[in-house]
Amino acid sequence: MDIAGTISKYRKAKNLTQEALGELVGVTNQAVSKWENGTSSPDISIIPALAEALGISLEQFFGVRDDSQPERVSADDLPEEAFKRLYHTFSELWKLSPLAEAKKTWLKAWRLSCVSNTHGCMTAAAGPFAFIDLSFKTPNGGEIFENDYTARAVSKLFQKSVRRVLEYEYNFTVARNDYTSGDIGHTAAEICETTGLSGDEVLDALDTLVALEINSSDGGGVYYIEFGHFPDLFALFQSAKLATGSHYWHRLRDTAIVLDEVF
């Protein structure tokens, strides 16, 4: 549903006149009338208050979800559906930005992050990547950078031999379409044959992955993938890739949703 139709639908559902809705968000009834007939759009800074006055979420305001028509989504379709809805929400906010017209040619390569005033952040890129972290901006959150165990784990994961083994394990699992833990194992010799790494390099990498609980071992030379960790690993490497790329970042920040450019 378009924004004009959304405002009209939920205003009437709340039994509000255009004048009453305008008073709730600090505009005239003529402004509300223009929103509903599509001749203008509400300023982005008042959209949160407008959604609250209409009794709906921002997702409903932008047509991401309509509770009157619940959808059933399978587990296989859920990641893509969730990404589409997050992407759509960002896109609608982008369209309402005063800078949108000047920058619409960048949409195929845009990256946006949204940081709340109090906690939480979300990132989406034009490619198939979206990430939400509700722990962002929590008290003492910066201490994560001082965590020695985390620092050692990250440094080990970025070693070339470990990355090659992770690549092998990813391809090994995806080729079999098998994301359960412990059903199919592989040996160091099999990894050596595929990756070209030496036996010592593979064993050292596997020992690292076992220590980090990304892999497990039966003690007899067979290793198993704890595939549940791979989404987190992908987010880590994908974030690093995006952060070091050459494209523009844009950031939506604060409750007023002000658009900044970040280079």
The domains of the chain, with CATH numbers, are 3-61 (1.10.260.40), 78-142+244-262 (no CATH), 147-225 (1.10.10.10)
Looking at per-residue pLDDT, the higher value among 256 and 151 belongs to 151
pLDDT (tens digit per residue) in 88-137: 777 666 665 555 554 555 555 667 777 777 778 888 776 778 888 888 88
Asked whether the predicted pLDDT for residue 192 surpasses 90, the reply is yes
Asked whether the predicted pLDDT for residue 263 surpasses 50, the reply is no
Q: Are 223 and 216 in contact (CB under 8 A)?
A: yes
Asked whether the predicted pLDDT for residue 166 surpasses 90, the reply is yes
pLDDT at 69: 56
| Residues written for the chain | 263
- For the record, the structure tokens of 110 come out as 């845009």
Q: Which of 83, 112, 81, 108 is nearest to 97 (CA)?
A: 112
pLDDT (tens digit per residue) in 15-57: 999 999 999 999 999 999 999 988 888 888 888 889 889 988 8
Angle, nearest 10°, between helix axes 160-176 and 148-157?
Answer: 70
pLDDT at 197: 95
Give CA–CA dist 104/111, Å, rounded.
13
**pTM, 2 dp:** 0.65
pLDDT (tens digit per residue) in 201-239: 999 999 999 999 899 998 889 998 887 788 888 889 988
Under the banding of pLDDT at 50, 70 and 90, the label for residue 252 is: low
